[in-house]
Amino acid sequence: MSAPIVQGWCPGAHRPMMSGDGLVVRVRPRLARLSAAQALGLCDLAERFGNGTIDLTNRANLQLRGVKEDDHQPLLKKLASLNLLDAEPGIEVRRNILVSPLYQLGDLTARLTQELIDRLGELPALPAKFGFAIDTGPARLLSDDSADIRLETGVDGLVLRADGAPTGRAVKEAEAVNQLIELARWFAEHHTSDTRRMARLVAATGLPAAWQGKAPGPTAGPLQPSFCPLGALYGAAFGQLPARKLHDLIEDSGASALRVTPWRLILLEGGAAIPAPDFVTNGTDPLMTTDACPGAPFCPQAQVETRTIARALAARVAGSLHVSGCSKGCARMGTANVTLVGNHGRFDLVKNGRAGDEPFQRGLSPETLKTMDLT
């Protein structure tokens, strides 16, 4: 199997990425939130310029797929009219911020996130995928999600923590973003081409004592499709949101805003819990523990179609299932109980590992997979 090409950067709105079905244009919601008007407008754009779906990524961003090159500039103008576009491409690249989604408007999480957004221009030059997490709710929700610098809830206050370090530095709200920028500068001064993420740099060189010593607070269990005080949570199989169905769900539920998460869940802020057959409404649905990238023909590096077999096998796998079109494993960076990796039209089977790990079995056809024991 030929090695897949690792791009080393993520698509944006200003800088889209070409895929098998056209451009991938990524929208990064500020504070992980779109007003109802913005969300409805984005649904319309997905149908007008894209393939009619919106992808919810594991960085809590939204992507339009299948955009024609000639439509890119008209799409940007429409995104700007919805206030979903950064005026400067450089700011868009830096605005890689995960936000714990259960914040209240104006609370600590919202204030810290907005201050960081306002001060992104003060950050040093950082690698393209370098990111931040604002995880300052009553309990941490983002501890397992990708971020290089984290502002977190501690036992008795805020903790600023470098990813890869078990402890961080106690900070007050007034100085938190100042200290975050200083930690980013330390990283920028010390990282190399082999240590382009904070955890790798910490493992390779250690972290100054000034940035350690304060333990973060407890974590919360994963969110599930349900109704919560902020509104209704719905799951999206494979992170795929059908634009027309999402448009109808927002309108019919009476939601005032859409919040996005890195867990293939959307929160309809202020929305009623109503039937939604095109979305996942049961936390025990095996599709919630199944990851599958777009696959062939939508990704030029994918060597198999992925989502049909993922749907067929989801209920037969005890635990997590990952179906990857190639060995990059974009849909799931961590391990899964069962990982299937595309290889020239067939699948290699990895058990309790990642897409790039050594397979337990090679060259399996979809028909074989549907009948074999995958435990």
Range(s) of the chain covered by CATH 3.30.413.10: 286-371
pLDDT of residue 325: 95
- Nearest one of 255, 264, 261 to 235, comparing CA atoms: 264
32-80: pLDDT as tens digits: 999 999 999 999 999 999 999 999 999 999 999 999 999 999 999 999 9
With the C-alpha atoms ordered 352, 353, 359, 365, is the resulting torsion angle positive or negative? positive
CATH class of 286-371: alpha beta
Q: Tell me: the pLDDT tens digits for 19-41?
A: 878 999 999 999 999 999 999 99
Looking at residue 3, its pLDDT comes to 53
Question: Do 318 and 332 touch, CB atoms closer than 8 A?
Answer: no
Note the pLDDT tens digit of each residue in 81-138: 999 998 887 788 889 999 999 999 999 999 999 999 999 999 999 998 999 999 999 9
- The pLDDT tens digits of the residues spanning 303-314 come to 999 999 999 999
231 touches 213 (CB < 8 A): no
The pLDDT of 136-164, averaged and rounded, is 96
What is the DSSP code (8-state) at residue 163?
T
Q: Cα–Cα distance between 126 and 181 in angstroms, integer?
A: 11
For the cut 90, the answer to whether the pLDDT of residue 375 exceeds it is no
Mean pLDDT of 333-345: 94
Is the predicted pLDDT of residue 168 greater than 60, yes or no?
yes
Distance of alpha carbon 305 from alpha carbon 319, whole angstroms = 22
Helices (H), the chain: 36-49, 72-81, 89-94, 108-118, 173-190, 198-205, 243-253, 307-313, 366-371
What digits encode the pLDDT tens for the residues 245-255?
A: 999 999 999 99
Tokens (6 digits) for 262: 């890195």
CATH of 17-86+231-269, one of 3.20.20.70, 3.40.390.10, 3.90.480.10, 3.30.930.10: 3.90.480.10
β-pair type (149-153, 132-135): parallel
Whether the predicted pLDDT of 272 surpasses 80: yes
Structure confidence at residue 91 (pLDDT): 85
The torsion angles phi and psi of 149, rounded to 5 degrees, stand at -130, 130
**Residue 354: helix, strand or coil by DSSP?**
coil
Percentage of the chain surpassing pLDDT 90? 86
Please give the pLDDT value at position 119: 96
Question: Which range is least confidently modeled, 168-182, 290-304, 336-350?
Answer: 290-304
Q: What is the pLDDT of residue 8?
A: 52
Q: How high is the pLDDT of residue 1?
A: 46
CA angle 13, 230, 320 (to 5 degrees): 65
Whole-angstrom distance, CA of residue 52 vs CA of residue 203: 43
Residue found by looking up tokens 């009623």 in the block: 272
> What pLDDT was estimated at residue 343?
94
Q: What is the mean pLDDT of the chain?
A: 94
Domain with CATH 3.90.480.10 in the chain: 17-86+231-269
DSSP lists the bridge partners of residue 161 as 150
Mean per-residue pLDDT, 319-325: 95
Q: Has this prediction a pTM greater than 0.95?
A: no
With a CB cutoff of 8 Å and minimum separation 6, the contacts of 119 are 177, 181
Range name among 214-228, 285-299, 354-368 with the lowest pLDDT average: 285-299
pLDDT of residue 19: 85
The strand order across the sheet containing 149-153 reads: 97-99, 132-135, 149-153, 158-162, 169-171
Residue 213's closest CA among 283, 162, 172, 249?
Answer: 162
